Amino acid sequence: MTDFHVHLLVLVCLNVVIVSGLALVSRTGQLSLGHGAFVGIAAYAAVLANMKAGWPFWLSALGGIACAALVAFVLGWVILRLRGVYFVLVTFAFAELVRLALLDWATLTGGANGIAGIPPVTLFGFAFDTKLRFLVLALAFAAASVFFLKRLATTPTGHACDAVAENPALAEASGLNVHSIQLQAFVIGCAIAGLGGVLLAHYVGFVSPESFNTALSINVIVMLVIGGRQSVWGPLIGAAILTPLPELLRGAVQTQHIFYGAALILILHFLPGGLASLAGRLFKGEEQRA
């Protein structure tokens, strides 16, 4: 396995973590177009705490994730009463606001030049300073995020999330606190995205406001929709298929966007449950033929 293949696997694992965060938000019936902003908030907060304040990685990472969760709590408390396109538009506007703030606050964030020379992850004196070492770490966090979603789906909280997504009015009438459930999912989902951002910053060694622009949020949504919004395997399938594409199609940048658009339209039309539902459909077809 070459360094390039290891690099792609690392990116797939990091995207699995980030998309898993959005999958949790989506499980309550909301779809955020500002997910990339929380990846960026956590990444910048952790990098600044690590490089400027001298905090160890684990403490700066927790600080970055806490910042993303706190911002998500404040924002979610206000906007989670919105539904559909209104919620999407507000999250989009928030993401742009965060990007512009990072650009303008140049004395702290480096502005458009970003922050370079970010040290690799170091835990208990062990540095994950090679691609292969980092892959082990990224695999562990990706597996943990998928395991978390899988466990959540079987708990009463997971069933409550499904009920809220299916019919918020009926869920409220049944005694569920819809706003509280959506807020909890939004905060935890953004914290998981923040974890992905912290790992990404220390893996790449560089952050800039454009690293967390709207394109990132859109790519995360496309991965989730193509993988499967309602499946715990959706983030894994979507990230595994779409992450390598920009690298494989690097010679034809315009083709990437055409492929993304065509794939999204086809999946929404023929497989609204995403590729994760394909196995179930095939199995059902076999049963009917039998």
Provide the pLDDT for residue 30.
86
Q: Is the pLDDT of residue 251 over 80?
A: no
Percentage of the chain surpassing pLDDT 90?
52
> Quick one: pLDDT band at residue 190, thresholds 50, 70, 90?
very high
The count of C-alpha atoms lying within 13 angstroms of the C-alpha of 23, restricted to the half-sphere facing its C-beta, is 35
Cα distances (angstroms) measured from residue 138 to each of 10, 161, 203: 6, 27, 10
Q: Is the pLDDT of residue 205 over 70?
A: yes
156-166 and 178-204 helices, crossing angle to 10°: 110
Average pLDDT on 149-173 reads 89
pTM: 0.91
- Higher pLDDT: 69 or 214? It is 69
Q: Give the contacts of 205 (CB within 8 A, at least 6 positions apart).
A: 116, 117, 118, 119, 120
Helix (H, G, I), strand (E, B) or coil at 158: helix
- For residue 194, the surrounding DSSP H or E stretch is helix 178-204
Helix (H, G, I), strand (E, B) or coil at 146: helix
Strands 122-123 and 126-127: antiparallel
> Quick one: pLDDT band at residue 279, thresholds 50, 70, 90?
low
Percentage of the chain surpassing pLDDT 70?
93
Distance between start and end Cα atoms, the chain: 43
